[in-house]
Amino acid sequence: MAKKTTYSSTQVAKYLADAPKAVKSYITDLEQQIRNLSNIGLALSKEKDMNKLLEMILVEAKRIANSDGGTLYMMTDDQRLRFEIMMTDSLNFHMGGTSGEDIPFYPVKLYTEEGDPNKSMIAAYVGLTGDTVNIEDAYTAKGFDFSGTKMFDEKTGYRSQSFLTVPLKNHEDEIIGVLQLLNAQDAKSKNIIPFASEVQEMVEALASQAAVAITNKNLIKDLEKLFESFIKLIASAIDAKSPYTGGHCARVPEITMMLAEAVQDTKDGPFAEVAFSDKEMYELKIAAWLHDCGKVATPEFVVDKSTKLETIYDRVNEVETRFGILRRDEEIKRLKKELKIERDASLPADEKTAKISDLKKTYRKTIRQLKADEEFVKESNVGGEFMSGDKKARVYDIAQYKWKPNGKMENFLSDDEVYNLTIPRGTLTPEERKVINDHIVVTINMLEELPYPKHLRNVPEFAGGHHEKLDGTGYPKGLTKDEMSVQARIMAIADIFEALTARDRPYKKGKTLSQAMRILGFMKNDAHIDVDLFDIFVKEKIYMKYAECFLDPEQIDDVQI
C-alpha cells in the first residue's frame, strides 16, 4: 500500500506561488464561490420575509451562473408549479417577489387532463422527476416543448438559448419548487454560452440550501398557524360551553391590539419611548386570546347564571308555583268560611251577606299582595346593579310565609333562596363569584405549564394580570402598577371595556359608550386602571373604533370627554 504524502502549509503556499496564473485564478474563484455559498446560506437562514427569501434565492442563482434571466416556481398543494418570481435583466423584466407586480401566467400542470405526467414541459419534468436538466440550446434540443418560449422570443425579439432547470428538494426528498435559469453569459464577451458543469453543481448546492431555508420558514409558519388555531379552538370551546363568554374571548384581543397600536404610535408623554416589536405585538395578541382560557374549568351553571335563583334551572319557577299554591289555599279558606256562614242558621240573611262581602274584600287584598310579592321576587331574581336594604327586608318577610309541601309546614323560601335573592349586585353569590374569579388562577396555572419559545415567554404574565388593579386591590396577586407590564395594563382596560359594553351577558344589557366611558373614568380616578393608557384610549378614540365594529347602533352615543 502506497504511503500517504502530507504537505505543510509552507509547502502548499510555495506550490501555489509557483502554480500557473490560470490555476491560481481558478482556485481563487472557487474559494470565492464557496464563501459566497456560505454567506448566502447564512442570509437565507436569517431572512424572515418569504418574498425576499425567494427573490434572494433567484438573484444568487443568477449571480453564480452569470445568467441573464431566471424563474422560480413553487409547488402547490394540487401538484402544480406556481410562478413566484421572473427576471430577465436585458429586458428589464421583473415580476413577482418584491416587485409588487403580479405574474399573470397560469401555474404549470404536472399532469395532463387525462392524468398522464406532463414531461414535455421542462419545468414540469424536473418537478416530476427531481432530475436537473441542462439545455445548451432550446432551438436545437429534443424531447421538450419550447413552443411557448419561441413565441415569447418572437414577440420580444429575445433569443432564449441555454437553460438550467434544477429541483428544490426538502429534507424528506420532496420537490417543493423548481429553479430555472436562462442564458448563461460569458464573463468577458457577454455572449450566451451553455451552463458549465461546475456552475450546475454550485446552483444545485444553492438549491439544496434554499429548499432547507424555505422548508424551515414554512414549518415555522405552519406551527404558528397551528398554535393560533389551537388558541382559537380554546375560545370556541368556551363559546360552546357558554354563549355569554365566548364572544368576550374573541373581542378582547381586538381592543387590546387597537390600544397597543395607539401606544406604539404615541410620540410624546409617558409612552413616547415605548416601541413594541412585531414579536412583542404577536406575543400580546396571543396573550389576549388566552386571557380567559381558565374558564374551560369553570362550571357552566356559574358562568351562565343569568338570574339569582338559577342553578341547573331557574328556581323562580318553583317559587311561582308556590305563590299559586298560596293563592289556591287562600281561595279554599275563603270558600270554606263562606260555606260555614251560609250554613249558620242562627245568622240573619243580611248579616251573612255582610260577612261574606268582608271575606271577599280580605281575600282580594291578600291575593293582590301575593301577586305583588310574586312580581317583586321575579324582579329581584333578575339581578340589577344594586339591591337596597328595604328590598332585602321584604325578601326576608316573604320568606316567613308558610306553606305545606308533603304535609309539613315550612317557610315559603329556603335559606339558600333567601341568600341568593338578597345578592346586592348581579346574580352571583360571593362563593360563586370566587369560583368565577378563580378562572384567572386556573388561566395562570395552565399558561405557566406551556413550554414557550423565547418570544412568547411573557404570555402568562400578560394574560394573568388583566384583573389586577394599579392600587394593589385586584386579584389574584394584588399587584401594583410598578409590578405590572404595560401589556398587562393594556389588557386590563380592554377586558373591562368589553365587559361593560358586551350585549350578550345573561344578567344585563350592554352599556352605551357614554356609560362605559364614565365608569372607566371613575376607575381611573380610583387608580384601578392606568391613567396614561386611559388618556390614549380616549384621545385616539379607541372606544369609537371598537364600537363601530362590534356594538349595536343604539349603544353608540355621544361621549363627553
* Helix residue ranges, H only, 242-277: 246-265
Q: What is the pLDDT of residue 26?
A: 52
Residue range 225-244: average pLDDT?
79
Average pLDDT of every residue of the chain: 88
Q: What is the pLDDT of residue 4?
A: 55
Q: What is the pLDDT of residue 49?
A: 77
Residue 27: pLDDT band with limits 50, 70, 90: low
Please state which of the ranges 45-54, 274-283, 523-532 shows the lowest mean pLDDT.
Answer: 45-54
pLDDT digits (tens, 9 = 90+) for 431-443: 988 888 888 999 9
- Is 170 within 8 Å of 130 (Cβ atoms)? no
Residue range 71-99: average pLDDT?
94
Select from 82, 64, 65, 66 the least CA-distant residue to 74.
82
pLDDT digits (tens, 9 = 90+) for 483-492: 999 999 999 9
Helix (H, G, I), strand (E, B) or coil at 67: strand
Residue of 206 and 385 predicted with greater confidence: 206
25 pLDDT exceeds 60?
A: no
Q: Which run of H or E residues covers position 446?
A: helix 430-448
Q: Are strands 67-75 and 80-88 parallel, antiparallel or unpaired?
A: antiparallel
Residue range 51-62: average pLDDT?
88
Q: Which run of H or E residues covers position 32?
A: helix 21-46
User: Backbone dihedral region of 173: left (phi > 0), alpha (psi from -120 to 50 degrees) or beta?
Assistant: left
Percentage above 90 pLDDT, the chain? 62
Residue 227: pLDDT band with limits 50, 70, 90: confident
363 pLDDT exceeds 70?
A: yes
Percentage above 70 pLDDT, the chain? 89
Please state which of the ranges 125-129, 153-157, 204-208, 246-250 shows the lowest mean pLDDT.
Answer: 246-250
Residue range 47-64: average pLDDT?
85
Question: DSSP secondary structure string, 369-392?
Answer: HHHHHHHHHHHHHH--S---HHHH
Q: What is the pTM of this model?
A: 0.69
Residue range 93-110: average pLDDT?
92
300 pLDDT exceeds 80?
A: no
Q: What is the pLDDT of residue 302?
A: 83
- Is 325 within 8 Å of 303 (Cβ atoms)? no
Residue range 336-352: average pLDDT?
91
If you search the block for the grid coordinates 372607566, which residue do you land on?
Answer: 520
Select from 311, 301, 247, 307 the least CA-distant residue to 510.
247
Report residue 89 as a C-alpha cell: 435583466
Considering 17-21, 223-227, 342-346, 416-420, the range whose residues carry the highest mean pLDDT is 416-420
The residues with which 310 forms a beta bridge, in sequence order, are 314
Question: DSSP secondary structure string, 531-545?
Answer: HHHHHHHHHTTHHHH
- Is 466 within 8 Å of 288 (Cβ atoms)? no
478 pLDDT exceeds 70?
A: yes
Residue 40: pLDDT band with limits 50, 70, 90: low
Cα 410 to Cα 403: distance, rounded to the nearest angstrom: 6
Q: What is the pLDDT of residue 426?
A: 85
Q: What is the pLDDT of residue 237?
A: 78
- Helix 486-501 and helix 246-265: axis angle, to 10°? 130
Residue range 495-500: average pLDDT?
93
191 pLDDT exceeds 60?
A: yes
Distances (CA, A) of 554 to 31, 501, 507, 523: 73, 12, 19, 24
The residues with which 362 forms a beta bridge, in sequence order, are none
Residue range 45-69: average pLDDT?
86
Q: What is the pLDDT of residue 19?
A: 62
Helix (H, G, I), strand (E, B) or coil at 161: coil
38 pLDDT exceeds 90?
A: no
Please state which of the ranges 26-30, 247-251, 372-376 shows the lowest mean pLDDT.
Answer: 26-30
Report residue 312 as a C-alpha cell: 341547573
- Is 361 within 8 Å of 337 (Cβ atoms)? no
The 3 state secondary structure assigned to 194-232 is CCCHHHHHHHHHHHHHHHHHHHHHHHHHHHHHHHHHHHH
Select from 348, 330, 325, 352 the least CA-distant residue to 339.
352
31 pLDDT exceeds 70?
A: no
Residue range 249-274: average pLDDT?
93
Cα 248 to Cα 252: distance, rounded to the nearest angstrom: 6
Q: What is the pLDDT of residue 420?
A: 94
If you search the block for the grid coordinates 353608540, which residue do you land on?
Answer: 556
Residue range 249-266: average pLDDT?
94
Please state which of the ranges 226-240, 341-355, 530-544 shows the lowest mean pLDDT.
Answer: 226-240
Q: What is the pLDDT of residue 516?
A: 94
Cα 417 to Cα 424: distance, rounded to the nearest angstrom: 14
Residue of 474 and 36 predicted with greater confidence: 474
Q: What is the pLDDT of residue 81?
A: 96
Residue range 139-156: average pLDDT?
91
- Is 169 within 8 Å of 208 (Cβ atoms)? yes
Cα 59 to Cα 54: distance, rounded to the nearest angstrom: 9
Cα 517 to Cα 559: distance, rounded to the nearest angstrom: 7
523 pLDDT exceeds 70?
A: yes
Cα 445 to Cα 464: distance, rounded to the nearest angstrom: 9
